Structures are given as C-alpha cells and as structure tokens.
Chains A and B, each alone.
Chain A
Amino acid sequence: MAEGEDFAFKNFDTIFRQTLKDLGISRAVKSFNIISKIDEPYFIISLKMGKARSAIHISDMAQVDDSPQGVQITITDEEWAPALLTKLWQVYSKERVKQLTRFEITIHDAKASDVAPMQLDPGEELKTLLLDAIWRVFPEGFKVRYNIVDDEVMTIVGTEHDMEDAWLETARKVHELTRDVEAE
C-alpha cells in the first residue's frame, strides 16, 4: 500500500478475511496479497488456493437408473446435490432436468450409461466462490481488469482507465510471489 494509507491496508485485510468467512471458504485460501498503488492507480489481489475436494463420479454419489422417461437419479450423498444439479443443467438444459423431490431427479431423453460416469469437479465451484469474494472486495470503480489464473494461484489486477504494461508485470511478479509463499 502507498504511504499514509495504513487504514486502507488494515481495512482491506479485515474485509477480505471476513468475506472469505462469509462465503465459507476461509480454509480454501492458503495465503493472499493485496497490493495497491493509489497514485498510479492500480489494485491487485493475489491468492493461493487450497485444494478442493477431489472429483467424484455421479454413480458414486447417486443411484442412476434408466426409466421410461429417460434417467432416474436418486441422490445418496446430498452434499454433492447442488454441484450435480448445476452439471446436469449445463449438459441437458433446465427443460430436460426435473427435480421431483429433494433426492430425486429425472432427466428426459437420456441414458443412464451416459450419466453415471460423468464427473463433478468441485474445483470450478471453488474458483467461482473465490472470484465472488474478490469482486466483493475489489474497488468498485476499477473496471479495467486482467486475470492471471492457474491451478494454484489466482491474481486479479484492476485499474480505472488504461492498463499499463508495468502494472501487468507487477501483477505477474506478485503472482509468482504468492505461489512461493508458505501457507499461513
């Protein structure tokens, strides 16, 4: 942070931690850096992601059977239900996927052999939540943004007007720095 901006430094640290807590993903972030050069101006948030739960086949969290309408799914592990529904909507569209009860889902015109081996990846879900946390904290007016994302680290740099190469270079350095930081 720039000189004289101690309050902003402390406040951003607090609100980012609270936001992660609100979204229930505090443990999914190993460490983070918030950097701002207000006289340039740019703002960088870089965070090192923890490991999400490992991927799972639909057949491992639900019973998948063929039925006259298509496929009948009975959920056995409800923890995965939101991810399952999202995945089915993406693949088969909302018109074909009907949730009959809390545990029962029907997919019209589909085969159980196609549905059962599909994988649910919690990593994508986690990235969406982390991005949500970043947008909640990122200064609202800094609309020109650039993302550097890989499997381990997510870095967002933003500014109010034109993005400069030097700031992107700084963001890349911060990205590497965050990767090398030991977990808090």
Chain B
Amino acid sequence: MYEVLMYDGGVYKINELYELIEDVGGFVIQKTKIQVQIVVTMAVPEEEHAVIEEKTAELGGKLSSVPLAGTEIAVVAPTLGRHHMPHPTCDIAEQLRRLGAITVVMGLARGRGRRSSQILADERRLVEEYDAAVFVLGNFKDCIINHKTKLFEELEIPVAVVCGPEVQDLPCEAVVCGVGRKVERMRREEEILKLQEASEAIEKIIHNKRAELDEDPLFIHPAEIKSRLDELEPIKECLRPAPVVLHLDGLRVKIPYEEWKDTIADIEVYGHRLGDVAEISESSLGGSILIKIKTTSEVNDEDRKSSSS
C-alpha cells in the first residue's frame, strides 16, 4: 500500500530524491518551490519508508506523514450563514488541509431548520464526487437524531458527523461530539483536541477506504495519471488552484469536459487508452472532469471479453 509523505527541505540535490522515489516505485504528487526551499508531497510504497527517510536525512530535510494527501474532502454545513461559518466549519477544513487533504467547504441551499432541512439531489451528486464528507451540525440532540440524518444517510461516500451533543448510532462512519456552534476560532486546548479527534476520525475512514481499494487495486495509481495530465497544454495554462486534484480512486481535472474529454481519453497508459481503463465524466462542479479509474480485475475482465469476441 502507498504511504503519502511530505519532504520539506532545500533544493540542493533534490533530483536524487526524485530518482529514489521513481526507483522504489513511488510518485511525486506535488512540488512547491519557494526560493531555495521545496516541499514535495510523494506517494511511496509503505515498505520503502526507511529508504526515503534515510535520503531525507542525507539531504538535511524533514520528512512528515500527511495521511490525507491525495484526497479531496467536502466539509458540509447546513447553510453558509454566520450560524455555521466561519467557525467551526472552516476550522475543521483547515485542520484537514494541514494533514494534506484538499478540502471544499459547502453550504446547503435548504439545510437550515429542523423539519424543513433537506439536501437537494444536485447537492447530493456533488458531495458524492468527493472521497469523504464531514457534516458539521449544531447543538440540539433531537434535531440531529430525528431530522438531520436525512441530509447524509443516503450518501454513497463515507461520512463523518461533527456535532455538539453526545449522540450515537447515527447512520454514518464516524461521529465526533462536543463541538457544536462556535462564534470564535477553535484555539483553546480542548478545542484543538476536538479538531484532532475530528481529523483522526477522517484519517480512519480514509485508511479503511484505501485498504478496501487495495483488495482489488486500481489499474493505475491516480498520481501516475496526474503526471501525464500535467504535461497537457490546457492544464499548464489553467489558472484555477490545483488544476489536477487526486482522489483515492481517480482524479478531478479542472478543465472543460466537452472540449478536452477526447484528448484525455486518448492518453495512453500501459498499452491502453485512458478512456478504456477509466470512466471519464463531467463533474457537477462546473468546468471540471471526473476520472474514476477501473480496478485491475475490471480491466483484465474487459480485455478477456474483447479478445474472445
């Protein structure tokens, strides 16, 4: 299984690190260069951790684990009103970003209230494009247990709920209680611990999803496709932040679907067209393309069928 690590150090002899990553079968996910300093996010096989650590020490850098790198997580609040924003919703999103995730903060159009709160079909589709979702709910136990579960119970992605009162048995993968509504930044010790608890819950969810994917591995790792996509002209010219975002089982590419779907589908990966080993569709988030990579067994099965026919 791949482990995502972050190297923070100088640019001197950094090519040696890139070569080592390639030699051990890993990928560079992101490079951020600031003058003579560089931050490299990489995915390497777990068993090669020691080798990378040794090289990092040799280069005088610092290696840290970013367990959520390579994931895109939606942090959903019932509305974008000041009752939920910016605290604690943005505090939770920031905590997840520190662990390497790309986060999107979202407010529902009709999520406010008790009996009247609802999630629209469009919103559900949009949330389901992410690797996991965190729902940030409020103070009332009765409201959360009896009315707010309908916001997330039908979602097909893992969900963690962060709320105020102690609640159990919600139809989701993780519940973090004791947060509730906030009107100022979560900066006290007990609040920081709560943020850590929330990120640990998400880490666990992501770890489980990665383990599930490893049972039937993807035909190609998303980071490998990213390195090919990064060479495309529209990606180089794209001004949107992080034009290619990694998901656990694919990627989001922030260029128009109609214009570039064929170019992307024609990229060659291990003797196949990308369009044959992945599902390429238009994202609900305007002007983006979603790529869902098929598993190795799916691709092999399709190859067998096509050769026999």
* A residues with CB within 8 A of B: 2, 4-8, 11-12, 15, 18-19, 22, 36, 38-39, 41, 136, 139-143, 160-161
Contact = CB atoms under 8 A, between A and B. Distances in A.
A2 B142 contact: yes
7 contacts: A5-B139, A7-B180, A19-B183, A38-B114, A38-B142, A136-B83, A141-B112
Given A141-B113, A141-B114, A160-B114, A4 B141 contact: yes
Given A4-B142, A38-B142, 16 more contacts: A4-B141, A5-B139, A7-B165, A8-B141, A8-B165, A11-B180, A15-B181, A18-B184, A19-B183, A22-B183, A38-B140, A139-B138, A140-B78, A141-B113, A141-B117, A142-B113
Nearest to B81: A140
Interface residues of B, number: 26
B105 to A, nearest CB: 17
B113 A12 contact: no
Contacts of B117: 141
Contacts of B142: 2, 4-5, 38-39
B55 to A, nearest CB: 49
Contacts of B165: 4-8
A12 B79 CA distance: 18
Specify the main secondary structure of chain A where it touches its partner: loop
B91 to A, nearest CB: 15
A12 B139 CA distance: 8
Contacts of A141: 112-114, 116-117
Contacts of B180: 7-8, 11
Nearest to A41: B114
A18 B183 contact: yes
Interface centre among A8, A22, A141, A142 (most CB of B within 10 A): A141
Contacts of B82: 136
Contacts of A160: 113-116
Contacts, number: 70
A18 B178 CA distance: 18
A2 B177 CA distance: 19
A6 B141 CA distance: 9
Contacts of A19: 183
Interface string B112-125: 11111100000000
Nearest to B78: A140
A11 B184 contact: no
B140 A140 contact: no
Contacts of A2: 142
B213 interface: no
A7 B182 contact: no
Interface string B178-220: 1011111000000000000000000000000000000000000
B113 A140 contact: yes
Given A15-B181, A15-B182, A7 B113 contact: no
Contacts of B164: 7-8, 11
Nearest to B117: A141
B114 A15 contact: no
B166 A7 contact: yes
A150 B130 CA distance: 51
Contacts of A18: 183-184
A38 B81 contact: no
Contacts of A11: 139, 164, 180-181
Interface in B53-109: 78-79, 81-83
A2 B78 CA distance: 23
B51 interface: no
A12 B182 CA distance: 9
A36 B184 CA distance: 23
Nearest to A6: B165
A5 B140 contact: yes
Interface string B126-141: 0000000000001111
A19 B181 CA distance: 12
Going nearest first, the 10 A-B pairs with the smallest beta carbon separation are A141-B113, A8-B139, A7-B165, A141-B112, A140-B112, A11-B180, A140-B83, A38-B142, A18-B183, A7-B164
Nearest to B184: A18
A55 B164 CA distance: 43
